Amino acid sequence: MDRDKILLTPGPLTTTLRTKLAMLKDWGSWDADFNAVTASVRKSLLAILHGQDSHVVVPLQGSGTFSVEAAVATLVPHDGHVLVLDNGAYCKRAAKLTTLMGRRCSVLGFDDAVQVDPAVLTQQLKYDPSITHVVLIHCETGAGVLNPLQAVADVCATHDKGLIVDAMSSFGALEIDARKTRFDALVAASGKCLEGVPGMGFVFIRKAVLDACAGRSQSLAMDLHDQYVYMERTTQWRFTPPTHVVVALHEAIAQFEQEGGQPARLARYTGNYQTLISGMARLGFKPFLDPAIQAPIIVTFHAPADPKYDFKTFYAAARTRGFILYPGKLTQLETFRVGCIGAIASFEIEQAVHAMALALLDMGIASGAPA
């Protein structure tokens, strides 16, 4: 097979040739041309969110988790109290990093197969007025649940609590409008729905809370306020930037805008999701989630009941045919995940379903139906 393997994961994703080619040039990190690229990227990111009037955007080197950790350390006072709404693996990661940042952290737990509940959040905020900030994972890709961002934001606004949103797997595809949804910080990354390459996160911070963030972070590298102030003053990054990642994202954003922006990206991903669901149903596979709460980002499927099924064998058979699947993230059930995002369309999803059908055939499994 002469093409790259297609990544059916929640990131890194399959990228276009144009995005790959953007990385073939070397850039000086203090050079005016590169600084102009950084400025353009920041302007475009704010426009996607309609946040030009209300927020600033601060890019940061590293994976998305670096930026989530930086957001907590920068926005939450040392005597603050963070409540994490937990319905999956990435929520648990947010709680862990909050604790490691030395902030008091409580967890409000929900089942992996349900959305977080704004009514339960309301009760918790009334019960414990010491809570200062709420952390929400918008699309919890552990199972693929789409959490109710607007409803949670409304509760936080009513109770005057800071909201930190991990929008890693939703930003650029699902609608997020800073003009109608109040949040203190929202975190995303280059290698997700914008279809850039991994290596850079970015945090949108509400202007109203920005000044109070000065000196809060206990980390030099992850101090978003310091990064913002330095960038505004010099147009440069404080430390060596991921130059090739930034220019790749710049090119990916140009393609995002040419495609029609967020609504067009959502439409393509939704088409991918619908093609995947119908194709997998023909093979007997059953999704883990109720369609009503399923984001068109990544789908968790129950493992087949057939005793001959083994994920590593299934994965290897699909990989040989050019498709990279993702293992399950649930502890109580055996599952696997298939992503719908990246520079792919329904045709590639149809090919992936065919590859999985052939994988079952290799393993002597008649149906993907669960127990």
Domains of the chain in start order, with CATH, are 6-11+261-363 (3.90.1150.10), 17-258 (3.40.640.10)
Q: What's the rounded mean pLDDT across residues 184-211?
A: 98
pLDDT given at position 326: 95
Tell me what pLDDT residue 172 has: 98
Q: What three-state secondary structure class fits 158?
A: helix
From 41, 56, 352, select the one nearest 203 (Cα to Cα): 56
Q: If you average pLDDT over residues 45-52, what whole number do you get?
A: 98
Percent of the chain's residues with pLDDT above 70: 99
Confidence class of residue 316 from pLDDT cuts 50, 70 and 90? very high
Q: What is the mean pLDDT of the chain?
A: 97
- Is residue 1's pLDDT more than 60? no
Q: Is the pLDDT of residue 2 over 60?
A: no
Two structure tokens written together for 287: 């999704």
For residues 305, 308, 310 and 313, what is the CA-based torsion angle, rounded to 10 degrees?
-140
Q: Compute the half-sphere exposure of residue 167: CA atoms within 13 Å on the CB side of its CA.
A: 28
DSSP strand pairing (185-189 vs 200-206):
antiparallel
Is 0.75 surpassed by the pTM of this model? Answer: yes
Q: Give yes or no for residue 331 having a pLDDT over 90.
A: no
Average pLDDT in the 41-65 region?
98
Q: For residue 290, what are the CA distances in angstroms to 30, 71, 118?
A: 50, 32, 19
Q: What is the mean pLDDT of residues 162-183?
A: 98
Q: What is the pLDDT of residues 240-261, one digit of tens each?
A: 999 999 999 999 999 999 999 9
